[in-house]
């Protein structure tokens, strides 16, 4: 079984709808991240969480919110989806080494299309 | 602030030929450097990383990268590519003082042709 799973894998929705993307991990890591990938822009950080009670905004948090329900679960919500949120979304996890040398492990991604 | 530039958005190459994917970064402090690979319809996985020590880093699948501090570069190389190396490759940097935040380049699509 995959260590980092994301649901759904694909989603098509309409402008104005509320959408939740879910991420679960079995790696036992404390740190979790949400990124979006757009062609030519690489991955950009939306939100990150260093533990259940610690949630922080990333580079592009406007229009998004998150919830860390447990160490293993980190959800991303779009309260009112808009077309420019169409992208590939990745969840990632890492160990809490604090040294900056740790590796991030990525889920398979969720392809979201907002019409 | 830190940034990463991958100079080539696409690199076509024939099978068994050598390849170099270029990555330059900017940062006012010391950094850690990473290369990730994304195969079609999959998430990213780590190829290699430079933390300290030897500037030549060897990774999985025969890839290696060389850290050049004076040129602020971390180019990825493979002496002989396979069809299975067709993927998108991302260079990323983490500032020593920036918590755990990775900054990614825009990616380079490697297309290996038979």
Of B34, B43, B46, the CB nearest to A107: B43
- B14, HSE (Cβ side, Cα atoms, 13 Å): 1
pLDDT in the model for residue A98: 61
Mean pLDDT, contiguous 10-residue spans, chain B (114 residues): 91 97 90 93 91 91 94 96 96 76 92 96
Cβ–Cβ < 8 Å for A72, A24? yes
Question: CB-based contacts of B58: which residues, under 8 Å, 6+ apart?
Answer: B48, B64
Query: To probe the interface with B, which of A42, A57, A96 has the most B CB atoms within 10 Å?
Result: A42
Could you tell me if A46 lies within 8 Å of chain B, comparing CB atoms?
Answer: no
Query: To probe the interface with B, which of A43, A60, A91 has the most B CB atoms within 10 Å?
Result: A43
Contact A106 B44 (CB under 8 A): yes
Digit-coded pLDDT (tens) for A40-84: 888 999 999 988 999 999 989 999 999 999 999 999 999 999 999
Q: Which residue has the higher pLDDT, A32 or A95?
A: A32
For residue B52, count CB atoms less than 10 angstroms from its CB and return exposed for 0-12, middle for 13-18, buried for 19 or more: exposed
Q: Tell me the pLDDT of chain A averaged across its residues.
A: 92
pLDDT in the model for residue A2: 65
Could you tell me if A50 lies within 8 Å of chain B, comparing CB atoms?
Answer: yes
Question: CB-based contacts of B53: which residues, under 8 Å, 6+ apart?
Answer: none
pLDDT in the model for residue B101: 81
3-state secondary structure A67-86: EEEECCEEEEEECCCCHHHC
Of A42, A102, A103, the CB nearest to B90: A42
pLDDT in the model for residue B72: 93
Could you tell me if A107 lies within 8 Å of chain B, comparing CB atoms?
Answer: yes
Residue A1: pLDDT band with limits 50, 70, 90: low
Query: To probe the interface with A, which of B9, B44, B107, B109 has the most A CB atoms within 10 Å?
Result: B44
Cβ contacts of A42 on chain B, cutoff 8 Å: 4, 6, 90, 104-107
């Amino acid at each position: 079984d995959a260590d980092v799973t994301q649901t759904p894998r694909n989603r098509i929705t309409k402008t104005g709808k509320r959408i939740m993307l879910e991420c679960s991990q079995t790696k036992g890591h404390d740190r979790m991240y949400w990124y979006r990938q757009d062609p030519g822009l690489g991955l950009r950080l939306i939100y990150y969480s260093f533990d259940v009670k610690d949630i922080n905004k990333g580079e592009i948090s406007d229009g998004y919110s998150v919830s860390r329900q447990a160490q293993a679960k980190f959800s991303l919500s779009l309260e009112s989806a808009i077309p420019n949120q169409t992208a590939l979304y990745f969840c990632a996890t890492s160990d809490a080494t604090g040294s900056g040398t740790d590796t991030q492990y990525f889920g398979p991604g969720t392809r979201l299309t907002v019409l | 602030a830190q940034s990463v530039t991958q100079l080539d958005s696409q690199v076509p190459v024939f099978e068994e030929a050598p390849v170099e994917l270029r990555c330059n970064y900017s940062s006012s402090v010391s950094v850690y450097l990473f290369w990730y690979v994304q195969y079609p319809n999959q998430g990213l996985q780590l190829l290699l990383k430079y933390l300290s020590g030897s500037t030549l880093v060897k990774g999985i699948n025969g890839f290696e990268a060389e850290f050049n501090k004076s040129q602020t570069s971390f180019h990825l190389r493979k002496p002989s590519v396979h069809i299975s190396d067709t993927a998108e490759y991302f260079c990323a940097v983490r500032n020593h003082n920036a918590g755990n935040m990775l900054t990614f380049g825009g990616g380079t699509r490697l297309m290996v042709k038979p």
